[in-house]
């Protein structure tokens, strides 16, 4: 009854969408939520609506593996564009083509990468009238509420009236009620920031975290949720809605912190409203709920050792490289002579991406191969491979890639015998190594923090929940879809597989899938 009443009110204020497809699709992306954590919330009764959907048999819920790295840019390139080799190694990296560091929370950088993906010749799930909210990439959406569109003031100013259309009619709370709740949330968030900073004696990231809590997690999500309800009334054929609140809090406070879990539980009420509207409109929506990766506890290297990763790799006493590692990296080839040839100066770049890091040792457009690294940077290799806080050191060897794990060198087909910590996913490690040779933007070395306790790894960035790495928790994603939908989303092994199945079922005409070399 609530949904029918709201739909009537919205329908009287806004025009219907121009584009139509044979079936409508709403994708709700729960950013950073591992399936195991969602299962716990269901069993504990913290997500009663979602639990009823699953237990009634109306929806299927399954584990999913989307490939590695377990990061949002990589996942969204696969979901929206169907790309298996998107060349997106993390949320931030040193881009060899641009000659600088890029970050996906910088609108100009997101726009640059979105244009690169768009120019690769792939169609998007949002082409032909779709809308996206809080995605990194616009990906052909008719609206302009993605990180990449924030990079163009001209575009945002032109689209402002369109973005605000129907917002007043679609509100689900009174103005006074919203302002009172918003004020309480802001006050509680400010108190939490002060408490946390005093406990750690560190204020880094806390100002941006408070702004995120107020502007993004409260105002931003309320706006996006309301607009999604309006879009369904209008009949927008495809809607992609990203719920990033849990992910944002998990980075700063840990994935199982009280306030992170509160964000996960909070989304249950929003899901109930979205589902009610999806079933009540004239042309109902199939609701697909998914996550892109999980989160693990992150124990910052700086807190453990008192130094940043860059200092650990490039400073300090001489450390010899293991003979076994050197021979393994050469793979039957002769050991190289030290390379002392003068080259254009390049200051090494270390990009701390959470519990993994990319290390760039050359300004060359092509990454360095293992034997070249032995000749030019044996000290860096030695420090990385001997550090007890680094569990995996990955690099290219010949036409493939290998991982150095506890003094041994292993290829992607040798993961079953590698002495990995139990927290690591052997499937994810093998998948990452298979994709590394084609991922030119990845570092010459890619380092992954050691699993030093159950459910937690060493982190290279100053954060307390990380993803992008290769643990079982980070690779533990989920997908949930209606039992009566014209699509089966079980048994998926890559985010590009998800794109292909959704494209076949919901795009009309069907996407022209073109492999990009």
d(Cα 320, Cα 335) in Å, to the nearest integer?
Answer: 15
Say what the pTM is. Answer: 0.93
- Non-local (6+) Cβ contacts of 365 within 8 A are 96, 97, 440
The rounded Cα 247 to chain-centroid distance in angstroms is 9
- pLDDT of the residue at 153: 65
d(Cα 240, Cα 146) in Å, to the nearest integer?
Answer: 11
- What distances in angstroms separate CA 41 from CA 255, 262, 264, one per listed residue? 13, 10, 8
What residue spans define the domains of the chain?
A: 2-295+475-506, 299-466
d(Cα 256, Cα 265) in Å, to the nearest integer?
Answer: 12
Both tokens assigned to 471: 């643990």
Q: Are 89 and 441 in contact (CB under 8 A)?
A: yes
The rounded Cα 203 to chain-centroid distance in angstroms is 25
3 state SS of 48: helix
CATH superfamily of 2-295+475-506: Alkaline Phosphatase, subunit A (3.40.720.10)
Cβ neighbours, 10 Å, residue 437: 17
Locate all alpha helices (DSSP H) within 141-257, ordered by sequence: 153-164, 175-200, 206-211, 221-234, 245-253
**Phi then psi dihedrals of residue 488, to 5 deg:** -115, 120
Both tokens assigned to 263: 């964000």
d(Cα 114, Cα 108) in Å, to the nearest integer?
Answer: 10
- pLDDT of the residue at 515: 46
- pLDDT of the residue at 513: 47
- pLDDT of the residue at 509: 59
Task: For residue range 180-193, list pLDDT tens digits in order.
Answer: 877 888 888 888 88
- Single out the residue of 191, 189, 115, 169 nearest to residue 147, CA to CA: 115
Average confidence (pLDDT) per 10 residues, the chain, 517 residues: 93 91 95 95 95 96 96 97 95 94 94 91 91 95 90 72 82 75 84 88 85 83 93 97 95 94 94 97 96 96 94 90 94 86 87 97 94 95 96 96 97 96 96 96 97 92 95 96 96 96 83 46
d(Cα 293, Cα 467) in Å, to the nearest integer?
Answer: 7
- pLDDT of the residue at 215: 80
- What distances in angstroms separate CA 484 from CA 22, 97, 286, 291, 414, one per listed residue? 15, 46, 9, 21, 41
């Amino acid at each position: 009854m609530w949904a029918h009443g709201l739909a009537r009110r919205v329908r009287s204020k806004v025009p219907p969408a121009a584009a139509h497809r044979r079936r409508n699709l709403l994708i709700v992306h729960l950013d950073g939520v591992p399936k195991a954590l969602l299962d716990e919330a269901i069993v504990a009764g913290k997500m009663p609506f979602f639990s009823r959907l699953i237990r009634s048999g109306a929806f299927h819920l399954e584990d999913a593996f989307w490939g590695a790295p377990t990061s949002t840019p990589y996942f969204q390139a696969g979901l929206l564009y169907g790309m298996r080799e998107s060349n997106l190694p993390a949320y931030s990296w040193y881009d060899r083509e641009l000659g600088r560091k890029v970050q996906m929370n910088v609108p100009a950088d997101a726009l640059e990468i979105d244009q690169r993906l768009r120019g690769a010749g792939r169609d998007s799930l949002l082409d032909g009238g779709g809308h996206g909210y809080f995605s990194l990439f616009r990906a052909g959406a008719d609206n302009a509420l993605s990180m990449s569109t924030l990079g163009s003031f001209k575009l945002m100013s032109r689209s402002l009236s369109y973005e605000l259309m129907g917002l007043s009619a679609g509100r689900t709370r009174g103005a006074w009620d919203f302002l009172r709740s918003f004020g309480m949330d802001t006050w509680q968030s400010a108190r939490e920031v002060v408490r946390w900073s005093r406990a750690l004696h560190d204020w880094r990231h806390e100002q941006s975290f408070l702004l995120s809590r107020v502007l993004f997690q409260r105002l931003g999500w309320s706006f996006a949720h309301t607009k999604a309800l309006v879009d369904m009334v209008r009949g927008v054929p495809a809607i992609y809605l990203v719920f990033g609140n849990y992910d944002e809090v998990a980075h700063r406070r840990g994935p199982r912190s009280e306030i992170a879990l509160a964000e996960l539980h909070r989304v249950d009420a929003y899901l109930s409203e979205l589902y009610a509207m999806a079933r009540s409109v004239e042309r109902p929506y199939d609701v697909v709920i998914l996550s892109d990766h999980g989160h693990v506890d992150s124990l910052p290297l700086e807190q453990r050792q008192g130094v940043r990763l860059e200092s650990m790799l490039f400073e300090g006493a001489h450390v010899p490289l293991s003979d076994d590692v050197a021979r393994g990296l050469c793979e039957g080839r002769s050991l190289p002579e030290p390379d002392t040839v003068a080259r254009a100066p390049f200051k090494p770049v270390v990009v701390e991406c959470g519990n993994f890091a990319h290390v760039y040792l050359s300004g060359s457009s092509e990454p360095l191969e293992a034997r070249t690294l032995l000749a030019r940077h044996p000290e860096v290799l030695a420090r990385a491979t001997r550090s007890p806080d680094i569990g995996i050191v990955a690099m290219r060897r010949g036409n493939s890639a290998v991982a150095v794990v506890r003094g041994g060198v292993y290829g992607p087909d040798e993961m079953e015998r590698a002495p990995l910590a139990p927290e690591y996913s052997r499937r994810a490690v093998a998948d990452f190594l298979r994709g590394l040779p084609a991922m030119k933007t990845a570092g010459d070395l890619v380092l992954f923090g050691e699993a030093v306790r159950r459910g937690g790894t060493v982190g290279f960035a100053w954060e307390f929940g990380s993803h992008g790495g290769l643990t079982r928790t980070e690779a533990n994603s989920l997908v949930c879809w209606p039992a009566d939908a014209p699509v089966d989303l079980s048994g998926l092994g890559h985010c590009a597989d998800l794109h292909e199945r959704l494209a076949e079922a919901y795009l009309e005409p069907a996407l022209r899938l073109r492999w990009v070399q």
